[in-house]
Amino acid sequence: MSPIEIGYTAVGGLVVLIYFGMPIGVAMLGVSFFGVSMIRNDVVALRMLGAVGNDSLREYLFAVVPLFVLMGLLVTVSNVGKDTFDVFQKMLRRVMAGLGIATVFANAVFASITGISIASATVFSRVAVPEMTRHGYSKKFATGVVAGSSVLGMMIPPSLLMIVYAVLAEQSVGRMFLAGIGPGLLLSVIFAATILLLAKQRKGFVFDTPDDHATYEDFSLGDVLRKAVPILSLMLVVLGGLYGGFLNPTEAGAAGAAGALVIAVLRRSLPKRTLWNLMVETGQITVSVLFLILAATFFSRMLALSGVPRELAAFFLDSSIGPYGFLIFYLVLIVILGCLIDSISIMLIVLPIALPVAEAAGFDLIWFGVLTVVAVELGLLTPPFGLSVYTIKSAIDDPDLSVGDIFRGAFPFVLAMVVALAVLIAFPPISTWLARL
């Protein structure tokens, strides 16, 4: 077989292995080793595997992964999510469908100090959904709002997906974080507009009861400040230090983890056993992410050796399909894959193939990364996989609430994300202007 044929065979073998249940990282390593062995020989494959392990994981930058993961877990156990919701509930309770909008903006703020969508879905399903249903909102809508707005966790920096993309695309993590601010705010505003539109045009979808007679918990100005100060302090330390140029991404992660630890200790929400469990969970998440990055790097080098990316670039860019035809095909493929596998795995599979084509098309890789993250996050809301939806279902012990109800509640936010994706394609500066300063 020619190198091109070997490359396509390896890609097809990867799809088959994943379909039959092999862990994605193991499958990528296996087909990559097979591909390099067939193109060159076993000795070269072994040496390349060792070089990939050395080159892809030894960088100082990778310390950012466990630090931001630990910060997110510490923030989650410290009830910062509830405090964030309480603050926005106080501010927006008089607005039509104000609790839904409060959930969106609370998720946006919570995302800026966690970076993991599943954490947002878990926290707000336990905080926002009971409060919304108590005030007459339908369970379908309440859970749909939480599912939809939870995707902001991977859009607004710090974001684990953006770190993974930056590594694979060899882009600056700091610039990727900056690029996520505009799209994150855009998504928040479009989500809020979607809620207002639904509340006016589809009241039966939003509310179970036409009038809200439930009382709100009364917060004094002092209570609001007490709840807001830890959130704002952590945002100032992490984002202020990062965007002000005082801290690089790894240092910002360390400062954020230290700040989250201080908050957890002061709130006495961190007994010894909990701290140990959080450290173990941080290690497990970090190892799995870094192993997948290693496998994806090997896969990328195997594909480059085979010439598959060059041939695909020629096919898309020299034919009538063109650069934007490739872009639409790529985004649709990601959304379809999002129905079947998790976010990081999608990026690790498609980016080694798509990035060389995007680069040959002349696309800004920062902008391309933002579009990738938005499309990948769409997969968290689409059946049958819909990880955010299943996370919410597992967090809410309610036999009357079906997974189908949550998917239906989240559907308007899927449409809102499609609109946001179209806006970001049409106006690239929304993603790039901060990153290029």
The answer to whether 356 touches 313, Cβ cutoff 8 Å, is yes
The answer to whether 102 touches 92, Cβ cutoff 8 Å, is yes
Give me Rg for the CA atoms of the chain. 22
The answer to whether 67 touches 253, Cβ cutoff 8 Å, is yes
User: Which tens digit of pLDDT belongs to each residue from 267-312?
Assistant: 888 887 888 888 888 888 888 888 888 888 888 888 888 888 888 8
Q: Is pLDDT larger for residue 211 or for residue 142?
A: 142
pLDDT for the residue numbered 213: 58
The answer to whether 366 touches 176, Cβ cutoff 8 Å, is yes
pLDDT for the residue numbered 418: 93
User: Which tens digit of pLDDT belongs to each residue from 112-157?
Assistant: 777 677 777 777 888 888 888 888 888 889 888 988 888 887 787 7
Report the C-alpha gap between 340 and 58 in whole angstroms. 32
User: Which tens digit of pLDDT belongs to each residue from 156-183?
Assistant: 777 888 888 888 888 888 888 888 888 9
Report the C-alpha gap between 198 and 200 in whole angstroms. 5
pLDDT for the residue numbered 368: 94
- Indicate if the pLDDT at residue 436 is higher than 70: no
Q: What angle do CA 152, 155, 159 make, to 5 degrees?
A: 110
**Mean pLDDT for all residues in the chain:** 83
Q: Is pLDDT larger for residue 114 or for residue 100?
A: 100
Least confident of 25-34, 131-140, 326-335, 386-395: 386-395
- Indicate if the pLDDT at residue 339 is higher than 80: no
User: Which tens digit of pLDDT belongs to each residue from 251-264?
Assistant: 888 888 898 888 88
pLDDT for the residue numbered 191: 93
Q: What angle do CA 333, 368, 356 make, to 5 degrees?
A: 80
Report the C-alpha gap between 372 and 162 in whole angstroms. 9
Average pLDDT over residues 75-104: 81
Burial, 49: exposed, middle or buried (Cβ in 10 Å; 0-12, 13-18, 19+)?
middle
Chain centroid to Cα 85, Å, comes to 20
Tokens matching residue 12: 């097809």
Q: DSSP 3-state assignment of 207? A: strand
pLDDT band at 212 (very low <50, low <70, confident <90, very high): low
Report the C-alpha gap between 185 and 252 in whole angstroms. 21
User: Which DSSP string do the residues of 299-346 spell out, in sequence order?
Assistant: HHHHHHHHTHHHHHHHHHHSSSSHHHHHHHHHHHHHHHHHTTS-HHHH
Q: What angle do CA 159, 344, 28 make, to 5 degrees?
A: 145
Q: Is the dihedral of CA 240, 242, 246, 249 positive or negative?
A: positive
pLDDT band at 437 (very low <50, low <70, confident <90, very high): low
Provide the residue type at 86 as one letter: D
Dihedral of the alpha carbons of 287, 79, 120, 190, in degrees to the nearest 10: -140
Q: Tell me how far CA of residue 264 lies from CA of 75, 268, 272, 300, 328, in angstroms.
A: 7, 6, 12, 41, 44
pLDDT band at 435 (very low <50, low <70, confident <90, very high): low
User: Which tens digit of pLDDT belongs to each residue from 306-324?
Assistant: 888 888 888 877 777 888 8
